[in-house]
Amino acid sequence: MNGKVTPASRAVVTVFDRGLVLGDGLFETLRVREGCPEFLDLHYRRWIKSARRLRLRVPVSEAELRNILSSLCRKSRLNDAVARITLTRGRYFGGLSIDAAIPPTLIVTVMPVSPLPSEVLRRGVKVAISGINKAAASGLDPGIKSTNYLANIFAKAEADKKGCYEAILLGPRGEIAELSTSSFFCILDGVVTTPPIDTGILPGITRQVLLREMRRKKIPVRESEIFPRDIPRMTEAFLSSSVRGLIPITRIEGIKIGNGKVGSVYRGLQELYAAACERELGK
């Protein structure tokens, strides 16, 4: 916290922190394997862009953040960790005005990665379609990973109530945008398809990496609008997450995707992404 390493049980912020009082902050979540933060350059770039949009001062460089993450994992004896980087506008003195002289609060935490149940990757997951509209919920800018996460929380609550793993949020025209904690991909007409950024989605890091790797391998891929009416035409679907990687989706709102089993395109892309992670580890 703000340059000091402390056990999580003793880490505290003031009750007047704007991140707590106003939800005035942003965060990044990423995986750290063997002391190596995966795709930190992409996470840091997104973090900086969001901070500038929110007029927040970033108090550490990318190199400093890399050292902090590696050090925390070493001190915590974690070879595989999920790290969260939270930046708030600092202490609240009443009112909503932004005072650039107030120092920000920077919190970096690492925790063990919870392993996915084997059946999730073997059999796939069911997802629901949330009644929360992404455009109405985004507030300022959907490309910012703000600490105000109420829309995502309630979308996930809807999914939990339906016994589903995740929830899809729809865009302003009723198009599929993203899931509550991940990006959406599907196979339509033999092409890997994902919603475009201008749908109002977070530019997911795993999404960026996967798109880059597919284009390098000349795998047919496109960013285009996808609607719920397209679900019966999907032969495969999956989600992508910085912590969980790629997870197959075999049912959406009770509709079977393809033959209802994990498909070969997903398996190939999972290998492609795993190879990209291995290269990152070797840097």
Residue-wise pLDDT for 79-89, tens only, equals 999 999 999 99
Domain interval for residue 96: 8-112
Rounded Cα distance between 127 and 159, Å, is 7
Whether 236 maps to a domain, the answer reads yes
Residues 127 and 96 in one domain: no
Claim to verify: residue 205 and residue 269 sit in the same structural domain: yes
**140 membership: H or E segment, kind and range:** none
Whether residues 106 and 124 share a domain: the answer is: no
In a domain, 1, yes or no: no
Say if 2 falls within a structural domain: no
Spatial separation of the C-alpha atoms in residues 160 and 163, rounded to whole Å:
5
Do 100 and 174 lie in one domain? The reply is no
Question: Do 37 and 176 lie in a common domain?
Answer: no
What confidence tier does 47 reach under pLDDT thresholds 50, 70, 90?
very high
In a domain, 63, yes or no: yes
The domain spanning residue 71 has which CATH number?
3.30.470.10
Q: How many CB atoms lie within 10 A of CB 93?
A: 10
Burial of 117 (0-12, 13-18, 19+ CB in 10 A): exposed
Residues 135 and 202 reside in one and the same domain: yes
Residue-wise pLDDT tens digits, 196-208? 998 889 999 999 9
Nearest to 238 by CA among 280, 206, 216: 206
Q: Both 125 and 60 in a single domain? A: no
Asked whether residue 3 is domain-assigned, the answer is no
Q: Which of 198, 276, 269 is nearest to 236 (CA)?
A: 269
Distances (CA, A) of 91 to 59, 100, 150, 218, 271: 15, 11, 22, 49, 45
pTM for this prediction: 0.94
Tokens representing 250 are 């075999």
pLDDT digits (tens, 9 = 90+) for 157-193: 999 999 999 999 999 899 999 999 999 999 999 999 9
Which residue type is seen at 6?
T
Sort strands 166-170 and 255-256 into parallel, antiparallel or unpaired. unpaired
Decide if pLDDT at 142 tops 90. no
Please count the other Cβ atoms lying within 10 Å of the Cβ belonging to residue 278. 10
- 235 domain-assigned: yes
Q: What is the DSSP string of 57-102?
A: ---S-HHHHHHHHHHHHHHHT-SEEEEEEEEE--B--SSS---TTS
CA distance 187 to 184: 11
Helix (H) or strand (E) holding 35: none
Angle made by CA atoms 203, 192, 120, in degrees to the nearest 5: 80
Question: Do residues 162 and 260 share a domain?
Answer: yes
Q: Is residue 68 assigned to a domain? A: yes
Chain center to CA of 36:
18
Which token pair is 132? 């929360």
Please give the Cα distance from 245 to 187 (Å, whole number): 18
Domain end (from 112, 145, 169) = 112
Q: Are residues 205 and 239 in the same domain?
A: yes
Residues 172, 192 share a domain: yes
In the listed set 56, 88, 112, which residue is the last one of a domain according to the structure? 112
In a domain? residue 99: yes
Domain total in the chain = 2
Q: Are residues 108 and 123 in the same domain?
A: no
Does residue 134 carry a pLDDT above 90? no
Residue 173 and residue 269 share a domain = yes
pLDDT given for residue 140 in this prediction: 67
* Domain at 198, CATH number: 3.20.10.10
